[in-house]
Amino acid sequence: MTVTEEAPGHVGSRRLRKEDPALLTGEAKFIDDLALPGAIWVGVVRSTEAHAHIVGIDGSAALAIDGVNEVLSGEDLAPLWGEGALPCAWPVTPDMKSPAHLPVARGTAKYVGDAVAVVLADSRYAAADGAAAVVVDYEPLPAVVEIEDAVADGAPLVHADLDSNECYTWGLWGDNAPAIDAAFAEAAHVVSERYLQQRLIPAPMEPRGCAAVPSPAGGELTLYSATQIPHILKVMTAVVLGIGENKLRVVAPSVGGGFGCKLNVYAEEILCSALAMQRGAPVRWTEGRAEAAVSTIQGRGQVQHIELAADADGKVTAVRVKLLADMGAYLQLVTPGVPLLGGFLYHGCYDIPNYMFECTSVFTNRTPTDAYRGAGRPEATYAVERAMDALAESVGVSPEEIRARNFIGADAFPYESAAGLVFDSGDYQAVLDKAVALADVDGRRAEQAQRRASGSSKRIGVGFSSYVEMCGLAPSRVLASLDYGAGGWEAATVRISPTCKVQVVTGSTPHGQGHETCWSMIVADQLGVDPDDVEVLHSDTAVSPTGLDTYGSRSLAVGGTAVYMATEKVIDKARAIAAHQLEASEDDLEFSGGVFRVRGTPDAEVPLAGIAFAAFTAHDLPDGMEPNLEAHVTYDPPNFTFPNGTHIATVEVDTDTGDVDLIDYVAVDDCGVQINPLVVEGQVHGGILQGAAQALYEDAVYNSDGQLVSANLGDYLVPSAAEAPRYRLDSHATPSPTNPMGVKGVGEAGTIAAAPAVINAVVDALRDLGVTDVAMPASPQTVWRAIADAQGGAS
Partner 1 sequence: MIPAAFDYEVAESADHAISLLGERGDDAKLLAGGHSLIPMMRYRLATPSVLVDVGRLDELRYIRTGNGTVSIGALTRHSELEHSAALAEACPMLASVAALVGDPAVRHRGTLGGTIAHADPASDLPAAVLALGGTIVAQGSGGSREIAATDFFTGYFESVLADDEMIIEVRVPSGSGGWNYQKFNRRAQDWAIVGVAVAGGGSGVSLVNMGSTPIRASGVEAALAGGASAAEAAAAAADGLEPPDDLNADAEYRSHLARVLTERALNAAGVA
Binding residues (CB under 8 A) for partner 1: these are 124-125, 128-129, 132, 288-291, 656-657, 659, 696-697, 699, 701, 709-710, 712, 714-715, 717, 719-720, 722-723, 779-781, 784-785, 794-795
What minimum distance in Å lies between the beta carbon of 63 and partner 1? 16
What minimum distance in Å lies between the beta carbon of 658 and partner 1? 8
Give the residue with the Cβ less far from partner 1, 291 or 525.
291
Give the residue with the Cβ less far from partner 1, 155 or 788.
788
What minimum distance in Å lies between the beta carbon of 722 and partner 1? 4
Q: Which amino acid is at 329?
A: A
Give the residue with the Cβ less far from partner 1, 617 or 712.
712
Give the residue with the Cβ less far from partner 1, 436 or 708.
708
The kind and range of the H/E element at 191 are strand 189-200
The kind and range of the H/E element at 303 are strand 299-310
What minimum distance in Å lies between the beta carbon of 482 and partner 1? 38
Nearest to 84 by CA among 238, 221, 214, 212: 238
What minimum distance in Å lies between the beta carbon of 181 and partner 1? 43
- Which residues are paired to 40 by β-bridges? 283
Pairing of the two strands 415-416 and 605-607: unpaired
Give the residue with the Cβ less far from partner 1, 677 or 719.
719
What minimum distance in Å lies between the beta carbon of 699 and partner 1? 8
Buried-exposed string 438-477: b where 16+ CB fall within 10 A, e elsewhere:
bbbbeebeebbeebeeeeeeebbbbbbbbbbbbbbbbbee
The kind and range of the H/E element at 166 are strand 166-172
- Which residues are paired to 303 by β-bridges? 196, 324
What minimum distance in Å lies between the beta carbon of 259 and partner 1? 19
Give the residue with the Cβ less far from partner 1, 617 or 781.
781
What minimum distance in Å lies between the beta carbon of 759 and partner 1? 16
What minimum distance in Å lies between the beta carbon of 787 and partner 1? 11
Nearest to 753 by CA among 652, 649, 641: 649
Helical spans, DSSP H, in 311-406: 338-343, 377-395, 399-406
Whether residue 439 contacts residue 664, with contact meaning beta carbons closer than 8 Å, is answered with: yes
Give the residue with the Cβ less far from partner 1, 198 or 634.
198
What minimum distance in Å lies between the beta carbon of 134 and partner 1? 14
Give the residue with the Cβ less far from partner 1, 43 or 337.
43
Give the residue with the Cβ less far from partner 1, 136 or 150.
136
Give the integer Cα–Cα distance in Å for 302 and 324. Answer: 6
CA distances from 430 to 59, 391, 646 (A): 65, 22, 10
- Which residues are paired to 632 by β-bridges? 493
Give the integer Cα–Cα distance in Å for 273 and 241. Answer: 8
What minimum distance in Å lies between the beta carbon of 204 and partner 1? 15
- Which class for 137: exposed (0-12), middle (13-18), buried (19 or more C-beta within 10 A)? exposed
Give the residue with the Cβ less far from partner 1, 48 or 93.
48
DSSP 603: T
Give the residue with the Cβ less far from partner 1, 355 or 702.
702
Q: Which amino acid is at 535?
A: E
In the β-sheet with 135-140, what is the strand arrangement from edge to edge?
Answer: 108-109, 52-58, 135-140
- Which class for 620: exposed (0-12), middle (13-18), buried (19 or more C-beta within 10 A)? exposed
